[in-house]
Amino acid sequence: MARYTAHVKGEGPEALARARFVKDGFSWLALTFGALWFLVKGAWISALLLFSLQLAISMLLQALGLAMLIPLVSLLVNFLAALESGAILAWELAIKGHRLVAVISGDDRDVMERRFFEDALGESAAASPPAAMPFASAPVPRAASGIPVIGLFPSPSRPGAPRS
């Protein structure tokens, strides 16, 4: 089940309609493309910082004569950015004036968005189909006399207990 954070800039239903959702968790695309992925997501400051960090590390390794480590270190930096991609995008939105309004879980993005807008707009849960129970409740066992049984056997001190 995926977890998303919802960020809103402003107040009212118009602001909710323009809500931004950020998936929390690891991003394979951020690992693969690094700063370019942040550019595509509109996180210009984060992309610039990540690119600058990779450039500085590459120049340092080149100056130390360890140029063969540049791809490995670049992959490591991208891995760290991919681990924190959701937090980095949320930080970028906070800089732009968005505020965190909700953390939502759902099987996919459509379910998550529906949950967010139902909660935010105050729609009744009766309109949505009931959620399936994860397990059925078992009936309470009763002794022959009709007394509820707690555990496997009725207590010998209670009426209805089997006699030996």
Q: Listing from the earlier edge strand, what are the strands of the sheet with 20-24? A: 20-24, 2-8, 99-106
Among 114, 101, 90, CA closest to 27: 90
Question: Could you tell me the residue ranges of all domains in the chain?
Answer: 2-126
Give residue 120's pLDDT: 80
Name which residue leads in pLDDT, 152 or 25. 25
Length of the chain: 164
Determine the Cα–Cα distance for residues 32 and 82; give it in Å rounded to an integer: 9
Determine the Cα–Cα distance for residues 37 and 35; give it in Å rounded to an integer: 5
Rounded mean pLDDT, 60-81: 95
User: Predicted confidence band at 31 (pLDDT cuts at 50, 70, 90)?
Assistant: very high
DSSP character at residue 151: S
H helices of 9-125, where? 12-17, 28-33, 35-40, 44-63, 70-83, 85-95, 109-121
Determine the Cα–Cα distance for residues 39 and 33; give it in Å rounded to an integer: 10
Among 40, 36, 45, CA closest to 88: 45
Q: Does the pLDDT at position 47 exceed 90?
A: yes
